[in-house]
Structure 1
Amino acid sequence: MSSSDPREFLERLCTERGEDFAGLSRMLGRNAAYIQQFVRRGVPKRLKEEERRKLARYFSVSESLLGGPPDDPTISQGLLSVSRHPVAVSAGPGAIVTQELGKPYFAFDERWLKGLTSTPAASLSIVRVEGDSMSPTLNAGDEILVDLGDAVDRLRDGIYVLRIDDALVVKRVAMHPMGRRVTVQSDNPAYPDWPDCGIDEIHCIGRVIWASRKVV
């Protein structure tokens, strides 16, 4: 069922699902004639955002069908989709980047994700870890959430995905107290650090803000 007219769409919903205008009006905290006036007389011209959202959730339909803005493809029923890119970031020898076209893979609770970062979901990416140089913090096969909007301009101590030549690596970055210098570290002591690197020498892709792993 589809209709470009929110009033016609809402009336058809009520007919097909056995709902009545008065009951929906009361659900919205309005007088019993409110929805009937909206559908039949065009008053008000548009439902308020909160009213539209309540009706959309009640009927499990998109708000856009009730006069709301076009759907954001990254948002579905309070979830934000984050793309997984078909590349691996190496915690060991560099993983070569062969393709960077992502597609939706993980869906996170919108409020939880916004509490983690203010960066839009379109600028986040899920990638897989290879190698053991960041063990035990990150292990081979872990999936990490990378904030692409939190990169060199906001560089600070933390774990980042870096591009070294044509490879991607995940490493810990430690800022020097003075100057634009950093030490690139591996959490696994078996691997050497890269001391005293210039910030311009490392290409920072984004900050690692979350990780998931299979429990074995």
Structure 2
Amino acid sequence: MRASAAGGLSLAALSGAIRRNPAYLHQYVTRGSPRLLAEGDRRVLAAMLGVSEAALGGPADGPVDGDASFALPRLDIEASAGPGAYNDGELVLGIDGVDGKLARALRLRPGKAGLITVRGDSMEPGLLDGDQLIVDLTDRAPAATARVYVIRIEGAIMVKRVGAGEGRLTAVSDNPAATVPVGEIEVVGRVVWRMGAPR
């Protein structure tokens, strides 16, 4: 599945997204087992990879719905708005859907966005503990005007306001009482939408 490599998702991660064992899609690709993907699995994978169901063995004349839900992988990381959540690597926990019109308005690309959960209070009042964030994984180049990004510092994942200037990135918390760890900033993606309880 060339589309999985292009989208930066491993076959094991995609298998997890459809709640199968990590070797499921590897066996499908290399051994032809199963011969056909289940309809539900095919639909989710097609949405994640931005390909037609026909490309995954589905019927060539399948329905097309321009307003269909846009599939977002729920990543097994929490963007700490506190000291930072340590993580060895992002894994796909499952798939959530957002409105297709919203996805188009945000210019999300299949396989290039994810959903994560905020933990902590360092980005209050803008982001609260438990908020769900849609992250555009293609936007990894902060500008001089700081915006909210998911970043990694020394292996810790966190959400901070990040800007670029004088040849380096700077990260700050919105909560003035919170600090940011010292270390090299690696940008994971830009926060483009917040979902949370009414305030």
The interval holding the TM-score normalised by the smaller chain is 0.5 to 0.7
Residues 1:132 and 2:121 are matched in the alignment: yes
- 1:155 is aligned to 142
Aligned counterpart for 2:130 among listed residues 141, 154, 160: 141
* Alpha-carbon shift at residue 111 of structure 1 (Å): 2.8
Assess, with a 3 A threshold, how the Cα gap between structure 1 residues 141 and 68 changes in structure 2: closer, same or farther. Answer: same
**Aligned counterparts of 1:142 and 1:193: Cα–Cα separation in 2:** 20
Match of residue 207 from structure 1: 190
State the Cα distance separating 1:76 from its structure 2 match. 9.0
**TM-score of the superposition, structure 2-length normalised?**
0.62
Q: Give 1 or 2 for the bigger CA radius of gyration.
A: 1
Tell me how far apart the structure 2 counterparts of residues 95 and 103 of structure 1 sit (CA, whole Å): 17
Calculate percent identity across the aligned residue pairs. 34
Please give the alpha-carbon distance, in whole angstroms, between the structure 1 residues aligned to 2:181 and 2:76.
Answer: 27
In the alignment, what sits opposite 1:123?
Answer: 112
Distance in 1 of aligned mates of 2:115 and 2:195: 10
Q: Give secondary structure in 1 for the equivalent of 2:75.
A: strand
Compute the displacement of 1:214 (Å). Answer: 2.2
Secondary structure of 1:111's partner?
helix
TM-score where L is the length of structure 1: 0.57
SS in 2 for 1:149: coil
Structure 1 runs (4+) deviating above 3 angstroms are: 62-69, 192-195
Matched length: 143
Q: Distance in 1 between matches of 2:78 and 2:160?
A: 13
Which whole-Å deviations, capped at 9, do the CAs of 1:73-107 have from their partners, x for residues lacking one? xx896111101112211111110115522144321
| Structure 1 gap ranges (5+) | 1-61
Corresponding residue for 1:164?
A: 153
CA RMSD of aligned residues (A): 3.0
SS at match of 1:122: coil
Residue identity opposite 1:180 in structure 2: G
Q: 1:108 aligns with which of 98, 108, 121?
A: 98
Q: What displacement does 1:168 show?
A: 0.1
Equivalents in 2 of 1:97, 1:63: separation in Å? 33
In the alignment, which residue of structure 2 is the partner of 1:67? 60
Q: Residue 79 of structure 2 contacts residue 150 of structure 2 at CA under 8 Å; is this kept in 1?
A: yes
Instruction: Name the CA distance, whole Å, in 2 between partners of 1:87 and 1:106.
Output: 15
Structure 2 residue ranges without an equivalent (≥5):
1-51
Match of 1:185 among 129, 150, 172: 172
Q: Is the 8 A contact 2:149 2:189 kept in 1?
A: yes
Over residues 33-65 of structure 1, what are the superposed CA-to-partner deviations in whole Å (9 max), with x where a residue is unaligned? Answer: xxxxxxxxxxxxxxxxxxxxxxxxxxxxx9857
Alignment of 1:12-31 (within 5 A): none
Higher-helix-fraction structure:
1
Amino acid at match of 1:116: L
User: How far off its partner does 1:134 sit?
Assistant: 0.3
